[in-house]
């Protein structure tokens, strides 16, 4: 494995995430307090949390948590689930288990950086770009053309980060079938599932479509609980799941016991939490629509299909990198410029920025953003 490059997003966040006054690029939904989460617990889980022994836990994850996770899938049971310390550990170990020298992977762009840099450190990788000129459409013919006899993984993410794109269920099912026919593992990052603007567009989970597919999820994004650091992979290939467990022995070994109990409380209350989070996004969207409508000479805005991030186009002649830098330095408003999402695999837009729509009360940040624009652009 070659040395991994700096993680651009995390490096940028290390500088600005906790110092910028207005975090308008958050990738998660508004979180809740410990008290709020515990209020959703049943008596059994509340007692379990209060009387928890702080010892090591099982590498695969707490058995009760795995049962709760499995119930969110149609064709999985607890033995098909392995838990990790967040989604990043799961992605990293899965790629190291699935790929090696002499293999080939296909990765959709734009993406969360590790989705391509980890495979690239292990083997040859081909990128297939979502098309911004066609609403970030995915061309399945391009996926097919990219496949090789030694392709072992096709990696996708829907709802997509950063674009918010959700492809059709028919296309997603076809993609799973295509991978199955070729003996390829479909690796599906589903961390924003449940936040679709139109619930009818919610995609099936990859692990329900194929016994070879891997479904990645986490408590951080749709549930808005990143502080728990609990993610998981569901895969019905038991030999692969065992390989993932052995790989985890070299990283975290096991998860945090308190976090696993809290995660199962959250997942049992999943319907309630997702309804709350979808309502929050639905209430926020008109505010973002109204903001961008004021500045149509500067931006092209389109609400995401799903998730809680969007990827507008910046039209200014100064370029999106300078724009985002000045905005955070002069107004304390944090956005993520396109360079964070550049790819080594395909061309990616250079005039976009990521904005988050899932945090409560964005008005103050949007007001600071608007004030800066009016001052910088001499709007009247």
Domains of the chain by start residue, with CATH: 8-33+272-374 (3.90.1150.10), 43-270 (3.40.640.10)
Q: Could you tell me the pLDDT band of residue 380, with boundaries at 50, 70 and 90?
A: very low
93: preceding bond cis by omega (within 30 degrees): no
The mean of the pLDDT values for the chain is 97
285-337 pLDDT per residue, tens: 999 999 999 999 999 999 999 999 999 999 999 999 999 999 999 999 999 99
Per-residue model confidence as pLDDT tens digits over 83-110: 999 999 999 999 999 999 999 999 999 9
Res 379 pLDDT > 70:
no
Res. 378: pLDDT tops 90: no
- Per-residue pLDDT tens over the stretch 182-222: 999 999 999 999 999 999 999 999 999 999 999 999 999 99
Residue-wise pLDDT tens digits, 216-262: 999 999 999 999 999 999 999 999 999 999 999 999 999 999 999 99
Q: Phi/psi of residue 174, each to 5°?
A: -60, -40
pLDDT value at 81 more than 90: yes
Q: Which residues pair with 154 in a beta bridge?
A: 106, 186
pTM: 0.96
Residue 296, number of CB atoms within 10 A of its CB: 10
Confidence of residue 2 (pLDDT cuts 50, 70, 90): confident
Rounded to the nearest 5°, which phi and psi values hold at 328? -75, -35
HEC string for the chain: CCCCCCCHHHHHHHHHCCCCCEECCCCCCCCCCHHHHHCCCCHHHHHHHHCCCCCCCCCCCCHHHHHHHHCCCCCCCHHHEEEECHHHHHHHHHHHHHCCCCCEEEEEECCCCHHHHHHHCCCEEEEEECEHHHCCECCHHHHHHHCCCCEEEEEEECCCCCCCCCCCHHHHHHHHHHHHHHCCEEEEECCCCCCCCCHHHCCCCHHHHCCCCEEEEECCCCCCCHHHCCEEEECCCHHHHHHHHHHHCCCCCCCCHHHHHHHHHHHHCHHHHHHHHHHHHHHHHHHHHHHHHHCCCCEECCCCCCCCEECCEECCCCCHHHHHHHHHHHHCEECEEHHHHCCCCCCCCCCEEEEECCCCCCHHHHHHHHHHHHHHHCCC
Tens of pLDDT, residue by residue over 127-146, are 999 999 999 999 999 999 99
Question: How far apart (Å, rounded) are the C-alpha atoms in residues 262 and 226?
Answer: 12
The answer to whether the CB of 171 falls within 8 A of the CB of 201 is no
- Cβ atoms < 10 Å from Cβ of 368: 18
């Amino acid at each position: 494995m070659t040395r991994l490059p700096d993680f651009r997003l995390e490096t940028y966040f290390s500088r600005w995430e906790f110092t910028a006054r207005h975090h308008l690029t958050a990738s998660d939904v508004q979180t809740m307090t410990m008290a709020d989460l515990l209020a959703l617990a049943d008596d059994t889980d509340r007692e379990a949390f209060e009387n928890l022994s702080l010892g090591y836990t099982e590498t695969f994850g707490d058995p009760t948590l795995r049962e709760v996770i499995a119930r969110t899938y149609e064709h999985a049971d607890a033995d098909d689930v392995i838990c990790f310390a967040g989604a990043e550990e799961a992605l990293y170990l899965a790629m190291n288990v699935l790929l090696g020298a002499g293999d080939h992977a296909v990765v959709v762009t734009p993406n969360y950086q590790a989705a391509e840099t980890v495979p690239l450190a292990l083997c040859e990788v081909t990128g297939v770009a979502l098309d911004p000129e066609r609403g970030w459409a995915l061309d399945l013919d391009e996926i097919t053309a990219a496949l090789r006899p030694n392709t072992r993984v096709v990696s996708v993410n829907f709802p997509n980060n950063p674009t918010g794109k959700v492809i059709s269920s028919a296309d997603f099912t076809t993609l799973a079938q295509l991978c199955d026919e070729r003996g390829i593992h479909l690796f599906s990052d589903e961390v924003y599932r449940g936040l679709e603007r139109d619930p009818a567009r919610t995609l099936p989970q990859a692990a329900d479509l194929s016994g070879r597919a891997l479904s990645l999820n986490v408590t951080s994004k749709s549930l808005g609980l990143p502080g728990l650091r609990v993610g998981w992979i569901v895969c019905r290939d038991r030999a692969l799941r065992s390989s993932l467990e052995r790989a985890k022995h070299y990283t975290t070994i096991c998860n945090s016991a308190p976090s696993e109990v809290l995660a199962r409380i959250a997942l049992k209350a999943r319907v309630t939490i997702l309804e709350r989070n979808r309502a929050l996004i639905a209430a926020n969207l008109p505010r973002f629509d109204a903001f961008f409508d004021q500045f149509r000479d500067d931006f092209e805005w389109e609400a995401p299909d799903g998730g809680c991030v969007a990827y507008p186009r910046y039209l200014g002649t100064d370029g999106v990198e300078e724009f985002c830098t000045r905005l955070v330095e002069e107004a304390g408003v944090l956005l993520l410029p396109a360079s964070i999402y550049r790819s080594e695999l395909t061309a990616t837009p250079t005039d976009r920025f990521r904005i988050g729509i899932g945090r409560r009360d964005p008005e103050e940040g949007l007001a600071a953003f608007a004030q800066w624009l009016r001052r910088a652009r001499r709007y009247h």
